[in-house]
């Protein structure tokens, strides 16, 4: 029997499955190789009652209210402005760097004239990428940009990505801004939220539909066959009406053009009987050896009144290796010129199959945040819909 199959139950796969099930009233089978739904957004309560985001901290930030409205159908959200500190030269400074950081890093006297220049040069701008400061024609601004870059970004970036900042795509470095004010929020988006009952519950509700069936612990690649001659994808030898794949694109094609690079994380937990351990929910450590940041999950819970003690999760980035014991989950695509070239070769392969659709962070080898991932899946659904309507 022809089937509609979705590989992966992260935001991309779950949204597409829900839209197909609900709007097109068609049956969908989701195959997920992990033992749970939600992909990297998965969270669970630990034995102390703390809601831990197992694959690292995730915060929903967007200027698009449609994204919030869409998610509110599946769970209640509460406003949460993420706040970060960075531990530099033995001091905690605000992240993103803001006007207070200027005073902390260059001293009050020098800060006065530098702040005047920053106000004038970036008038009307809320956030400015640190690289733009580095490249600025004014010597004082560019010297301050270099100070930030050397103290915070060079080491953080090389730990995070395993390569020097010069090799990484500019779009990734542009994600690191300085706030042109005393704003302490990590991001300046209009809507900043977290789900009251956590992300997993939200996915649970999204996938609760009579047309959706979810199979966990199934590696779809062991069942799929791509027939280049006829341009079709088969599952267990049977033709598939439509296959939506949200896993890693290189793995789908048996790494035939080589493995695309991803970074993974080794996340280590430290438990404490104290109610509070860190001075902020997230601390970034640009100068520390091996690790990049720590998160104290109790600080981001909607209700921690029944929690005992606290837990701090510290991230140690490492190269992704599907066969390794630690580091076998592809977290972040490493965007460089060389990896983009390899990705383009895989993209040509995709176009040979007319019942194959690729969507998501791994499938499209893009650094999507969840808001963009949600917007993209919602609009990508229109492609799938027109294909299914055409062949029916
Ligand atoms: C550490 C970290 C922190 C982040 N923080 C934020 C944040 O604060 N804010 C924000 O907006 N975004 C954040 N993001 C980005 C966010 O996680 C992604 O945008 C989103 O999870 C992408 O969803 P996806 O469905 O495309 O991919 P994924 O969540 O990776 O889902 C892909 C799914 O496919 C499954 N799969 C893969 N291959 C197979 C196979 N062969 N068979 C069966 N199943 C398979 C995987 O197990 C996985 O469940 C963060 C990402 C990371 C890694």
| Domains recognised in the chain with CATH numbers | 4-69+194-260+334-391 (3.40.50.720), 84-179 (no CATH), 262-319 (no CATH)
**Which residue's C-alpha comes closest to atom 14 of ligand 1?**
369
- pLDDT above 70 covers what percent of the chain? 99
pLDDT band at 72 (very low <50, low <70, confident <90, very high): very high
**Which residue's C-alpha comes closest to atom 2 of ligand 1?**
56
Measured from CB, residues less than 6 Å from any atom of ligand 1 are 7-13, 31-34, 39-41, 55-56, 58-59, 219-221, 246-247, 331-332, 360-362, 368-371, 373
**Average pLDDT of the chain, as a whole number:** 94
The predicted model scores a pTM of 0.94
61 CA: nearest ligand 1 atom: 11
Mutate to test the pocket of ligand 1, among 246, 254, 281, 357 (most ligand atoms within 8 A of CB): 246
User: In Å, what is the CA distance from 76 to each residue of 49, 68, 80, 192, 205?
Assistant: 19, 10, 13, 13, 11
Q: What's residue 169's pLDDT?
A: 82
User: In Å, what is the CA distance from 141 to each residue of 122, 179, 180?
Assistant: 11, 14, 12
Ligand 1 center to 327 CA (angstroms): 15
pLDDT band at 182 (very low <50, low <70, confident <90, very high): very high
Q: What is the spatial distance between Cα 139 and Cα 135, in angstroms, rounded to a whole number?
A: 10
Q: What is the spatial distance between Cα 335 and Cα 366, in angstroms, rounded to a whole number?
A: 8
């Amino acid at each position: 029997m022809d089937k509609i199959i979705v590989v992966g139950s992260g935001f991309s796969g779950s949204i597409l499955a829900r839209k197909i099930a609900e709007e097109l009233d068609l049956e969908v089978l989701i195959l997920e190789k992990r033992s749970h739904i939600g992909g990297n957004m998965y969270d669970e309560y630990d034995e102390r009652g703390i809601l831990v985001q197992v694959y690292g901290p995730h915060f929903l930030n967007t200027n698009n209210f449609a994204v919030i409205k869409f998610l509110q159908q599946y769970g209640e959200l509460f406003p949460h402005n993420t706040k970060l500190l960075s531990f530099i030269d033995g001091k905690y400074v605000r992240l993103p760097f803001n006007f207070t950081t200027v005073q902390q890093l260059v001293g009050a006297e020098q800060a006065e004239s530098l702040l005047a220049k920053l106000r004038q040069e970036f008038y009307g701008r809320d956030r400015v990428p640190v690289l733009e400061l580095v490249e600025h024609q004014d010597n004082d601004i560019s010297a301050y940009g270099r100070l930030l870059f050397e103290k915070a970004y060079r080491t953080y970036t090389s730990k995070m990505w395993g390569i020097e900042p010069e090799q990484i795509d500019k779009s990734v470095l542009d994600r690191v801004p300085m706030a042109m004010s005393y704003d302490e929020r990590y991001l300046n988006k209009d809507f900043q939220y977290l789900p009251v009952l956590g992300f997993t519950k939200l996915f649970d509700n999204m996938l609760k539909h009579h047309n959706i069936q979810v199979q966990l612990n199934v590696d779809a690649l062991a069942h799929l066959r791509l027939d280049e001659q006829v341009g079709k994808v088969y599952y267990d030898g049977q033709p598939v009406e439509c296959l939506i794949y949200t896993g890693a694109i290189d793995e789908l094609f048996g790494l035939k053009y080589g493995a695309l690079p991803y970074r993974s994380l080794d996340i280590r937990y430290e438990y404490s009987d104290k109610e509070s351990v860190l001075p902020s929910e997230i601390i970034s450590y640009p100068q520390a050896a091996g690790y990049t940041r720590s998160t104290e999950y109790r600080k981001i819970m909607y209700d921690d009144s029944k929690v005992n003690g606290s837990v701090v999760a510290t991230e140690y980035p490492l190269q992704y290796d599907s066969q390794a014991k630690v580091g076998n989950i592809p977290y972040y695509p490493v965007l460089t010129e060389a990896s983009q070239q390899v990705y383009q070769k895989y993209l040509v392969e995709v176009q040979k199959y007319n019942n194959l659709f690729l969507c998501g962070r791994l499938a499209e080898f893009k650094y999507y945040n969840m808001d963009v991932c949600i917007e993209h899946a919602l609009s990508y659904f229109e492609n799938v819909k027109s294909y299914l309507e055409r062949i029916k």
